[in-house]
Structure 1
C-alpha cells in the first residue's frame, strides 16, 4: 500500500493557492519525487517536470529566483537540489472530455480495417522507457521512472499498449485520479499507433465512467486528439469528484475504436 504523501509535503501542496497561481510555467520547485509526493501532486492538479541536467537546474534557479523571492512561485523543498523539479499546473488545462469526445474521422477510417490489438498494463515499464527515448528534453529521469513504476505496482499508474501481432508499436501511460486519467506521454513506432493508444485509453476511461483524460500541456497535437482547453478551476473540480476508475482489461481489437 502507498500513503498519499508525507505530512510535510501534503501541507505544502495544500498551501498552494492555485486560484492566484501563474497560468503558465512552474507553480513550485522541489526535488522530492517519491511516489507519495508524486501521487499527492497529481491529486492536487500538478505534474512534475524534472531537470535533465545540472545546467537545466541552474537555468531554473536563474530564471525563477525572482519569482520565488516575490512569492509568485513556491520553493517547496530546500534539499540539495531544490530547483531540480518544476511542478506545473497550466491554466487552462487541455482535457479530452469523455461526454463529447469522438475519435477523428481520419483515425476511425484508418482503424476500421486494422488488425492491431490493444492491451492495458501488459508492459508498463517498457512503455515508460519507450516514451522517454529520443526526446530532446529527457524529463523522464531515473528517479521519476522509479516512482511511476511504484505507482503502477500500487494500482495508480497504467499503460495502454498497441500491438501488431506480437510487436509493440505504440503506447501511452499516466496516472488515474478519481474519475480523471492524467496521461503523461505517448510513443509511436508505427504511423498512427500513438494516436490509437490515446484513443484506446479514452475509450477505456469512458467505458469505466470516467469524466476526462488530462493531457497536461496544450499543443496542436493534443487538439487533434480531441483535447479542449478547460479553466484550471473546472479541472480541479473534476479531480475532486467522487468515484474511481476500474479500467477495462484484456486484449481488445483496435478496429472497435472506429465505431
Structure 2
C-alpha cells in the first residue's frame, strides 16, 4: 500500500533506505525545500521526461509497496523529483578541513585569488549547472534556491581572479550544518579553495559540519568522514534553526594556506 505523508515533518527518515531514493515529492517550492533539508533530505529533480519515467519504472514497485513514501499533494506527479538521505552521510568537519600541499603552495606563491560570501549567489548556482549531466539544477529548483538565499537560508562562497568568477560553492545553512549542494571551478583548485573558505567562515560562526551529500575521492581528500544518518539528523536538531551569521568580508585566498590558528575571516574588506 502506498505510504503517503502530508509533510516532511511527518516522515520518519530513520526508515528510509540507506542508498536509494528516500522519498518522492514533486513540491520544489522554497518552503518544501527548507523543510526537507531540516529533516535530513536533499532533492534530485529529473532533468527530463526520460529520467522521470525511469524513476517510475525502477522505483514504482517500491512506492506501491510503501517502502518509498510519497510526500505532499496527491495530484502532483511525484516521480519528477526524488529525495535522498544517504546512510552513512559524507561530511567535512570544519575543524579537519585542509588543502593539499600543492594547492597551499600555489596560494602562498601569490596566486591572485580572493574569496567572498554571497556576492554572486545566483551566478554560482548557474555556473554549477553549466555543462553538468544530468542537469538536476532545474529552473524550478534554482528559483527556490534564490528565494531561500533572499531569506537568508542559502549561501555561496565565490573565488575571484582579477574580477572574474573562477570557482564557488553553494548550499543551505541548517543550524550547525551547512549542506553543500554543488561547486564549480574555472581554474584548477578553485572549488577546493571555495569549500575551505566556507569551512573557515562557518567555523567562525560556530558551525560544526559541512554536509557533502554524496561521497567522493574529493571529499575524502579534504578531510571527509562518514556519519550515520541518525547522528546527522540528531545534529541537525541539536541547536536552534536560525542561521549562523558567517563573516561576509572579502579576503585574499592566500590566508587559507596559513596555519589554522592564523587563518581568520576577520578584518576589513579589501576587494
TM-score class, shorter-chain normalisation, is over 0.9
Give the one of 10, 16, 27 matched to 1:21.
Answer: 16
Distance apart, 1:102 and its partner CA:
3.0
Distance apart, 1:194 and its partner CA:
1.0
Q: Given the alignment of the two structures, is residue 94 of structure 1 paired with residue 93 of structure 2, yes or no? A: no
1:36 equivalent in structure 2? 31
Give aligned pairs, total. 251
Deviations 1:17-70 (A, max 9, x none): 222210011111111000000000010110000000011100001110111112
Say whether the 8 Å CA contact 2:99–2:192 is kept in structure 1: no
Moved more, 141-150 or 238-247: 238-247
Q: How does 1:166-185 map to 2 (within 5 A)?
A: 166-185=163-182
5+ long unaligned stretches in structure 1:
1-7
Secondary structure of 1:235's match?
Answer: helix
Deviations 1:68-89 (A, max 9, x none): 1121101114334220000100
5+ long unaligned stretches in structure 2:
259-271
Using the size of structure 1 for normalisation, the TM-score is 0.93
Q: How does 1:217-228 map to 2 (within 5 A)?
A: 217-228=214-225
CA distance in 1 between partners of 2:97 and 2:167 (Å): 21
Say whether the 8 Å CA contact 2:28–2:144 is kept in structure 1: yes
- CA RMSD, 1 decimal: 1.5
CA distance in 2 between partners of 1:99 and 1:167 (Å): 29
Say whether the 8 Å CA contact 1:28–1:74 is kept in structure 2: yes
Secondary structure of 2:127's match?
Answer: helix
2:46 equivalent in structure 1? 51
Distance apart, 1:221 and its partner CA:
1.8
Moved more, 240-249 or 129-138: 240-249
